Amino acid sequence: MKIFIDSANLTEIEEALRRGFVQGITTNPSLLAKEPKAEFATHIGKILELIQRHSPGIHLSVEVFSRDPDEILQQAKNFIHNFNYPELSVKVQIGWNELEVIKRLASENISVNCTACMSVTQGMMAAAAGAKFVSFFWGRIRDAQKIEEKMQNIHTVGSDERGVLENFARIKREMMERKALEEDDFDPFYVVRKAREIFDKAYPQVQIISGSMRSSSDVKNAALAGSHIITVPPKFFNDMISHFKTDEVVGQFLADFSQWIT
C-alpha cells in the first residue's frame, strides 16, 4: 500500500517529499484553484521540479478540466507532451463519454487515472476501458449514506441546501428502486473491498486509489479495505504520525537518560 499526497500546494508537497513517505502526488482543479493564480503549466512544472529534487520517479496525476471528450483528449495529449514526465497519469473523470476517451488514451499507452468513482460498477467499467488507476472517493461515497439522516433535520438548513438534499434523496431512492445501487454501495469500505476482489481476478494490472479522506481513521480503513494507494490531504499527516503515548514514553526516556548522564 502506498501513500500519495493530495495537494497542489508547493510548500505542503515539498515538506512531505522531504520526509520520504510519499510515493506519489495527486492534484485536481479544485486543489489548484486554492493556490495563487498562475499559469496551469507553470504550476505543474514547479511540482515536477520538487519531485526531481526530492523523489525522482514518483507518480504524479494531473486532471483534465473539461467534460467535452475532444477537449479531454487534447488536454491529455498536451499534458504528456508538455510535461514529459514518464510517471505522469492523466486524471479523467468517470462517465459514459469519458470511457471512450480512456480507451483511446490507453491505446496510445497514456496512463489514465479514472477519477470520481463512487461505485463498484463504475470502477469495473473504467478498468475494462483501460484505466491504469481507478480512484474511489471514500468520503463522498459515505456522504450518500447520510442523506436520510440529513433529511430528518431538513428544516434546519437553508432553501438552497434543502433543494440539493431533496434532489439527492430522490435520485438515491430511484437508483435503489431499480437495483442500480444497494445500501451496501454507500459504504466505502464495502465498495473498495469488493472492487479489489474483482480487480484481483479480472484486472490485476489496475490499481485502486482511495481519495476524499476525511480523517486519519479513513486512511487506516481504506488500507484495510484493500486500496493499493491512498491519497491523503496534508492536514491529516499530523494525526497519522502523532500519539499521546508516544509523547509520554519518549519524554520518559529522555528524562531518565538526562538524570543518569548527569
Q: Could you tell me if residue 154 is inside a domain?
A: no
Q: Could you tell me if residue 86 is inside a domain?
A: yes
Distance CA(117)–CA(232), nearest Å, equals 17
Q: Could you tell me if residue 160 is inside a domain?
A: no
Buried b (16+ CB within 10 A) or exposed e, 215-226: ebebbebbbebb
Residue 118 has pLDDT above 90, yes or no: yes
pLDDT at position 146 is: 78
Q: Distance between terminal CA atoms of the chain?
A: 45
**In which domain, by residue range, is 40 found?**
2-138+187-252
Q: Could you tell me if residue 76 is inside a domain?
A: yes
Close Cβ partners of 185 (under 8 Å, ≥ 6 residues apart)? 119, 120, 141, 191
Give the SS3 label for residue 4: strand
Distance CA(104)–CA(108), nearest Å, equals 7
Question: Quick one: pLDDT band at residue 89, thresholds 50, 70, 90?
Answer: very high
Total-model pTM: 0.94
The mean pLDDT value of the chain amounts to 95
Q: Find the catalytic residue in 2, 46, 77, 91.
A: 91
pLDDT tens column, 11-50: 999 999 999 999 999 999 999 999 999 999 999 999 999 9
DSSP letter at 177 equals H
Strand partners, 90: 62, 112
Q: Could you tell me if residue 155 is inside a domain?
A: no
pLDDT > 90: percent of the chain:
88
H helix or E strand, kind and range, residue 113: strand 112-117
pLDDT at position 155 is: 66
Catalytic: 91? Answer: yes
Distance CA(24)–CA(228), nearest Å, equals 12
Rounded to an integer, the average pLDDT of 141-162 is 77
* CATH number of the domain where residue 109 is located: 3.20.20.70
Q: Could you tell me if residue 47 is inside a domain?
A: yes
pLDDT at position 222 is: 98
Count of structural domains within the chain: 1
Residue 149 and residue 126 in contact, taking contact as beta carbons nearer than 8 Å: no
Residue 159 has pLDDT above 80, yes or no: no
DSSP letter at 37 equals P
Q: Determine how many CB atoms are found less than 10 A away from the CB of residue 60.
A: 20
Q: Could you tell me if residue 260 is inside a domain?
A: no
Q: Could you tell me if residue 16 is inside a domain?
A: yes
Instruction: Give the phi and the psi of residue 2 in degrees, each rounded to 5.
Output: -115, 150
